[in-house]
Every structure is written in structure tokens, then in C-alpha cells.
Amino acid sequence: MKRIFILFSFLFTVNLVSYSQSGKLEKGKESIKESTTTSTTSSDSSTTKRSGRRTRETNDESYFGSFFAGIFVDLFAYTAYGIAIESPFELDGRMHDAEIANYPFENSFHGNYIYANSTNYKIVRFDISNNFVIENSNLYGNNFGVDFRFLRRFGLEFDYLSLTEKINAKRDQFSLYSALLNYHRIRTQKLDAWFGLGVMYVGEDVHKTGFGIGLGAEWFVAKPISLKVSHKWTNINNQEVNNTKLLLKYHIKKYHISSGYEHFKIGVSKIDAFSFGVGVSL
């Protein structure tokens, strides 16, 4: 009898503790809503003391300083453009004129891009995907995306993430919207890699918007298999919100089936989920 009483007491205590705990979504949203403010102080007095000496030094070195600064700025801009957009060595390469394929693996030799000769290609293309994500029976959601590709190298990518968590007989919700303008930097028949800039918005009871950054690549291993990795990031109230995907895709003509891993960081909360979905290229 004593053992039974102890067992029931233990279960009752565990039950009380579980009811007092909050879920990952609630903790994450609360951390995002907590804004931090910092105060700044001016240093006008010290600046004034140094201004006379600095003026004399500037008069002596202004010509040489501006000359070398101009060279440095031009060299940096030229190098940055070559790395991010296109280098002079690529102008005569096949990647420079690569076209958007009708759909991945239309034949065995190309993925998202083709080196167009007599092969038909797309001026614009819509890639639509929908993935179900689940960490456990209490935390799951849906990730819907549309990627509008145009002008060979660009894409407008829209995503909507919805997560649901069941905690103590109640449901908590989290939603994330993102809109990024992508530039597809590497456009070969086997590899497609891009970066993007835009905005990301956290809905529900947070209602905060942040500057968004995206990176991604898809490697077309061999027909009909490709491997896709992507990462989207924003900062809201000094808290990180991101989504990382690692998906294996199986292509069937214009359609694909995907399965893999997705990681979400919502403020202080981290979620590791299994992902399964379908998609189509139009």
C-alpha cells in the first residue's frame, strides 16, 4: 500500500511539473517579443580636443589618402562584383548563357539549368513545393513555398511556415512568412547555387518584421536524384529566427518527392524535424 501511495505521489508531482512547463513555440515567441534597448553617450568633448591636430594631419595627407582610398574602393568593388555576380573569366563560359530548364532532369544531362542548343527552355518557371514537418507527435507543421524564376539568373521566393504544438491539452501556433529576391550565382547543368535578400515576418501574436538573408544550393547527382540544402535567417529584437533544410529529392518528370531534415531556430528555442513533401515545376 505504501508503494502504491508513493507511486501515485510521484505521478502527481510529474503531472504538476508538466502543466507548469511551456512549449518550445511559446518560449521562442516570448524571447522574440522581449526587445532590448541600449543607451548611447556622446563623446563630443574628446572629439573637439583632437579636431585641431587631425585637421593639420588631414591637410598634409589629403591628396595621397584620397588617391589610395579611391584605388582600394575600386579594387574592392571590382573583386566583390566578380565574386557575387560574375567575373570576367566567366563571360565566355557556358554558364554565362545557361537557360532555365523546363523542369529538372528533362533529360539525363541537366538539372535546373541547361546549356541551350536545340533543347527547349523556359523564359519563366514556377516551382511549387509543400513539406510536412514533424519533431514529435506534439510538434508539427507545414512549409509551403513558391519560387518564381525569371531572366535566367533571378528568382522571387515566397515561403510560409506554420507550426503547431500541443501542450497540456492546448495548442500553440507559430507562423513565419518570407519573401526573398534570389540571384543564382552558379548555373551549371549539375549544380545550382544562389543567395537572396528580402524580408521575413513572424506572425501570430509576435507581428515583427526583419531583414532576411538566404543561401542555397541543389546538386543534381544523377537522374532522378538531387540533393538540396538551404538556409534562411533573420534577426528580430536581437533574437535569431532561421530555417535550415537538407532534402533528398526524387524527380518524376515535372514532379518531385522530397524527404529529409529541417532545423528551426525561434529565439531561444530549437526544433529538429523530419520533413516529407511534394512539388511541381510549371
Residue 11: is its pLDDT beyond 70?
A: no
Residue 110: is its pLDDT beyond 70?
A: yes
Q: What percent of the chain has pLDDT over 70?
A: 77
Instruction: With CA atoms as reference, report the closest residue to 100 among 80, 78, 129, 120.
Output: 120
Q: What is the pLDDT of residues 54-70, one digit of tens each?
A: 555 555 556 556 666 66
Burial class of residue 42, CB neighbours in 10 A (0-12, 13-18, 19+): exposed
In angstroms, rounded to a whole number, what is the distance separating the alpha carbons of residues 144 and 163? 12
Residue 273: is its pLDDT beyond 80?
A: yes
pLDDT at 258: 98
pLDDT at 41: 41
200 bridge partner residues: 178, 210
Tell me what the pLDDT averaged over the chain comes to: 84
pLDDT at 83: 80
